[in-house]
Structure 1
C-alpha cells in the first residue's frame, strides 16, 4: 500500500530535508485538529466493545462520571477528564489510566492529568481486599498535593458511576466540551498551570 498525495523524499528520517519536514508539519495540522473527533469515535465504540460483567457499558460509565462532574459545577478540564478517564480500556486494559492521562496531558492542567494517571491505584481502595491486594496502596502518594483531588475524583465521580438507573447526559452533549479542550495549544503554560491545585468543586 502506498501513500496518496504529496510525500517526503526520505526513507530514513535522518535523510530528510527542511522541505520534507515543512511538508509534514503542514500535513499534520488537519490531523491534529481531528483529535477530538477521533476520541469521540473511540468513546462511541465503547458502547459496543466493552468489559463484560458490569451492568453498564464503558461509554455509559464515562458519561455518568462526566455528568456527575458537570452537575457538581466542575470546570471543563474536570468534565472532559471524567468523560475520558477510561478511554484507554480497549487498547491498554493493563495501564488504561496512564494512557488516558497521556492523551489529556497536553490539554488540561497538571492537577487533572495527575489525577487521571493515578485513579487506577486510588480505586483499589474499593475492591483490592477481594483480590488480596493492598487497599491502601494509594497511601504512598499521601504527601502529594493532588492526593485529595484524586481521592475525591474516585469517590464522587468514578466508583459511584456504575448505576444503570442514573440519568446521565448523552454523549452528544459533551461534543463541544471535548472539541474545546483539544483545540487548545498543546503544553501551553496557561493550559498546564503547573503547580496549581484547586481540588474538586463542592458537591452539588
Structure 2
C-alpha cells in the first residue's frame, strides 16, 4: 500500500473517531495517541516505534463499542484489532509493540513491584479484563519475543499519555514518522 494512502487512513481515523473519550481518562483518543508519540519522540525512539506509540490504540478507533465497555465487563481486544489493521500497512517493528502493549502491562504488573501502584483506575479495571498480572511462564514467553523491550517502552509511554495539560505537537507533525515507517515497509522483503 502506498505510504500516502497509509497517512490518509491514519488522519481519517483520527478525524472520525479521535475525539472520543479514551476510556475513563481525561483525554481523547487523539490526545492519548499524540501524547504517547510525543514521549517516544522525546526519548529518541525510531520512526517505527514513534508510529507504534501514535497508533497503539488504533483498535479503539476501529470498533463500535461504547467508551465505557470495560466498565461493563467487556474487553474490546483492541490490541489484536489494531495489530490486524496495521498488519498490511506497516512492518512488524510497528505492529508487534502494538499487539503486545496490553501484555506489557500484565508483564510489568508481575515483574515490577512498583508498577501496578501507578496504574490509573481505568487501567486497573482493564487489567482485570485482560487477564491480570502474568504468571512466571507467561513472563518468560513474553520476554522471549524480539519486540519485548519496545513493547515495554511503549507501555510506559501509554501510561504517561493521560495528561489533559500536556503540551504536544499536532497530529500532522507525526505523519513524517508514519511515512518513514511506511517507506521501510515498502523495502521489507516479502516471502
TM-score by length of 2: 0.68
Inter-CA distance 111–96: structure 2 relative to 1 (3 Å threshold): same
Match of 2:47 in 1: 76
Q: In structure 1, which of residues 36, 42, 45 is the aligned counterpart of residue 16 of structure 2? A: 45
Equivalent pairs counted in the alignment come to 160
The question of whether the paired residues in 1 share the 8 Å contact of 2:57 and 2:79 is answered with: yes
Shift of 1:57: 0.5
**C-alpha spacing 1:106/1:187, structure 2 compared with 1 (3 Å):** farther
SS at match of 1:182: helix
Equivalent pair of 1:100/1:117 in contact (CA under 8 Å): yes
How big is the shift at 1:109?
4.1
Match of 1:120 among 93, 102, 126: 102
- For residue 67 of structure 1, the aligned residue among 15, 29, 38 is 38
Match of 1:154 in 2: 155
CA distance in 2, matches of 1:149, 1:183: 20
Flag the structure with larger Rg. Answer: 1
CA RMSD of aligned residues (A): 3.0
Q: Which runs of 5+ in 2 are unaligned?
A: 66-75, 110-115, 117-123
Distance 1:129 1:98 in 2: 15
Shift of 1:68: 0.6
Paired with 1:129 and 1:103, the residues of 2 have a C-alpha distance of 22
Ranked by relative contact order (alpha carbons within 8 Å, sequence separation 6 or more), the top structure is 2
SS at match of 1:34: helix
The structure where helix makes up a greater share of residues is: 2
**Taking structure 1 as the reference length, what is the TM-score of the superposition?**
0.65
Structure 1 residues without counterparts, runs of 5 or longer = 1-28, 193-204
Partner Cα separation in structure 1 for residue 23 and residue 148 of structure 2: 30
**Contact kept in structure 1, 2:18 and 2:61, CA below 8 Å:** no
The answer to whether the 8 Å contact 1:107/1:184 transfers is no
User: Which of 134, 137, 141 does residue 136 from structure 1 map onto?
Assistant: 134
Q: Pick the aligned partner of 2:59 from 88, 91, 94.
A: 88
